[in-house]
C-alpha cells in the first residue's frame, strides 16, 4: 500500500513539474511577444527555478540601448524639430509645419473602417 502511494506521489510531482514547465514556457512566449524579452532562464534541472529573479530580463546590459529609450529619443527629436521649424518658418524637403499639423490632425477613422472591412471580407472568403 505504501509503495502505491509513493508511486502516486512521484507521478503527481512529475505532473506538477511538467505543468510548471509548460506555464513558464507560455509565460516566456508572452513576455517575448509583449516586451521583446529573450525568455525564461533555465535552472540546473532544465526548468526554471521558483527562486529565479523574474525581473532579471528587465534590466538591459550595460551599453545596450533599450528600444523604448531609442523611440523616446526619436520622438523628442522630431517634436523639437517641428517646433524649431514652426518658430523659424522653415521648410524641410518642401514640407512646412502647416502640412505637418494638417497630417497630424487629420481624421483617419473612415480610412481605418474601410481597411478593416476589406480585411474582414477577405478573411470570410
| Same domain? 54 vs 94 | no
Per-residue pLDDT of the chain (125 residues; tens, 9 = 90+): 566 788 888 888 899 998 998 888 888 888 888 876 554 455 445 555 555 555 555 554 555 557 888 889 999 999 999 889 888 888 888 888 888 888 888 777 888 888 888 888 776 65
Grid cell digits, residue 70: 531609442
Of the residues 58, 83, 106, the one at which a domain ends? 58
Domain span holding position 98: 67-124
Residues 96 and 117 reside in one and the same domain:
yes
Residue 11 and residue 47 in one domain: yes
Q: Where are the alpha helices (DSSP H) in 1-125?
A: 2-35, 67-88, 97-105, 109-124
Considering just the CA atoms, what is the radius of gyration of the chain in Å? 27
Query: What's this model's pTM, rounded to 2 decimal places?
Result: 0.37
d(CA 117, CA 114): 5
Residues 44 and 75 in one domain: no
Q: How many domains in the chain?
A: 2
Amino acid at each position: 500500500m505504501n509503495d502505491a502511494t509513493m508511486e502516486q506521489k512521484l507521478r503527481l510531482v512529475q505532473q506538477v513539474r511538467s505543468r510548471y514547465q509548460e506555464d513558464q514556457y507560455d509565460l516566456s512566449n508572452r513576455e517575448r511577444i509583449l516586451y521583446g524579452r529573450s525568455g525564461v532562464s533555465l535552472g540546473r534541472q532544465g526548468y526554471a527555478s521558483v527562486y529565479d529573479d523574474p525581473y532579471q530580463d528587465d534590466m538591459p546590459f550595460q551599453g545596450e540601448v533599450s528600444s523604448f529609450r531609442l523611440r523616446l529619443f526619436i520622438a523628442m527629436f522630431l517634436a523639437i524639430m517641428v517646433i524649431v521649424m514652426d518658430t523659424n518658418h522653415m521648410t524641410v524637403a518642401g514640407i512646412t509645419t502647416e502640412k505637418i499639423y494638417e497630417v497630424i490632425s487629420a481624421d483617419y477613422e473612415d480610412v481605418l473602417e474601410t481597411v478593416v472591412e476589406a480585411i474582414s471580407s477577405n478573411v470570410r472568403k
